[in-house]
Amino acid sequence: MHRNRVRWLLVIALLLSLGVPLAAAQTPLQRTFPHSKAELEEALRHLGAYSGGRLPILDGFVAEKSLERYQRPFYQYSLQLTCAGADSCTVRVGARITAWYADPSPSQSGYRVLASNGRLEADLLDRLQDTLGATASAAEPPAVPASKPTATATVPEASAPAYIKRGPPVAALPRFAAAPSLPSRTESSAAEPSNGDARIEQLSREAKNLEQILRNQAHPENLAVVKNPSIPVVEQPDDNAKVLFLADAEDEFQIVDTAGPWVHVQVSGLSRGWIRRSELQLPAAYEGAAPVTAAERAPSTPFRQTRQETAAFPGNWEELKGKQVKVIWVQPASSASDADKFSYAKSVFRKAFPELLHSSPPLAGVVIVFDSEDGGMAAATLATLQQWNAHHMTDNIFWKQCWFDPAEAFKLKD
């Protein structure tokens, strides 16, 4: 996965060993290519320029000097293509580098943005040039008047999140020339025969050191990785809780705590959220300490839902009489008390409310039918459910706004 990056680090090391300073390597942050915008965008996609990725180390890629507390570095390019004709486009490259900063005060820890020293940008332009097999102009192109650009495509920089997307490994583009590999022993010797063997030996040692760094860069023991795309991160450990945002596959979060089928994660700084355990790949320590049991996935309840349908209100209550409602049928799974009946009805009303809001055609309320000898029906209007879910009324007041039939089957205590 990291071999391409190791290869490029070794190319840089070779330049240093040849006495060529990076500042003088003629690799500006923009170049003009004799290619169309579509060709450049395709090449950039195949080079992985739009997805970003990990860095094996920070040293040599950022301007920051003190790097002891930084871990898990990532990079993301920002690209701008400005075309002055059908076959002439200028590519401008910026690099955003983020890394986890382990502050002595845990509440201050989090991902931080580090200033790039230009090496990543120059590397991408070099690979783009080699991939296209083109001779690009490294000089600053003439300024194009703002009123007459032919085409401009910009990929904006995103704000640095507390979780980072892991980009796919860079794939080769078959229709273009392959990326440059390390110089062979013969080529190095031809460049400077007197020191060729020593230089190759030095580069070999550096390659082994870099590979050792990559092997030792173990995955942290407190990170959870999202398995699938569009996974909700919620405010509370409840399926009906407010959704903060949708996480993508391969997103990583620091684990704060676990609670049954839920994992409490750090989103950003002091911000926290909850994700279903089944949607995460957890470190072995967490998997072993708190496995997801069948009881956690499906908590035991004295009732079970058998079916639901949309129909006219089945009772004689003016609030819903003649109106279309959602009817939910439940059966007792074990002996249930009055408290169990109210507790289960409460959970059903909570779960049904979001569905009611988005129902088409609109529904006026929810009816729960307890299909048992001493069962009965409980109903609530959409307006009452809305007030209750917005915490504008207590549970006791909510129950008094509901309809029960027969009333003696539901012993509501004040």
pLDDT, one tens digit per residue, over 299-353 is: 456 788 888 889 899 888 999 999 999 999 888 776 666 677 888 888 899 888 8
Q: Percentage of the chain surpassing pLDDT 70?
A: 69
Residues 228 and 342 in one domain: no
Q: Which residues is 53 bridged to in the sheet?
A: 75
How many structural domains compose the chain? 3
Is pLDDT at 294 greater than 60 in this prediction? no
Tokens of 200: 């190759």
In sequence order, which residues have a C-beta less than 8 Å from that of residue 388 and are 6 or more positions away?
Answer: 349, 380, 395, 398
First-to-last alpha carbon distance for the chain, in angstroms, is 65
Residues 22 and 152 in one domain: yes
Tokens of 216: 């030792």
Domain end (from 248, 277, 297)? 297
Is pLDDT at 158 greater than 80 in this prediction? no
Residue 414 lies in a domain: no
Domain end (from 193, 216, 239)? 216
Residues 144 and 200 in one domain: yes
Q: Which residues is 325 bridged to in the sheet?
A: 311
In Å, the largest CA–CA distance within the chain is: 102
DSSP assignment of 8-63, as one string?
A: HHHHHHHHHHTT--GGGS---SEEEESS-HHHHHHHHHHTTTTT-EE-S-STTTBS
Residue 340 lies in a domain: yes
Distance (Å, whole) CA 300 – CA 304? 9
Residues 272 and 197 in one domain: no
Cβ atoms of 24 and 118 within 8 Å: the answer is no
| Predicted TM-score (pTM) of this structure | 0.32
Distance (Å, whole) CA 349 – CA 367? 9
Give the DSSP H/E element, type plus range, for residue 171: none
The boundaries of the domain holding residue 258 are: 223-297
Residues 317 and 405 in one domain: yes
Q: Residue 383 — pLDDT band, cuts 50, 70, 90? A: very high
Q: What are the angstrom distances between the C-alpha of 389 and each of 398, 400, 412?
A: 10, 15, 20
* Closest C-alpha among 28, 242, 266 to residue 140: 28
Distance (Å, whole) CA 158 – CA 113? 11
Residues 30 and 179 in one domain: yes
Residue 153 lies in a domain: yes
Mean per-residue pLDDT over the chain, rounded: 74
Residue 49 lies in a domain: yes
Specify the range with the lowest mean pLDDT, choosing from 80-84, 112-116, 177-181, 322-326: 177-181
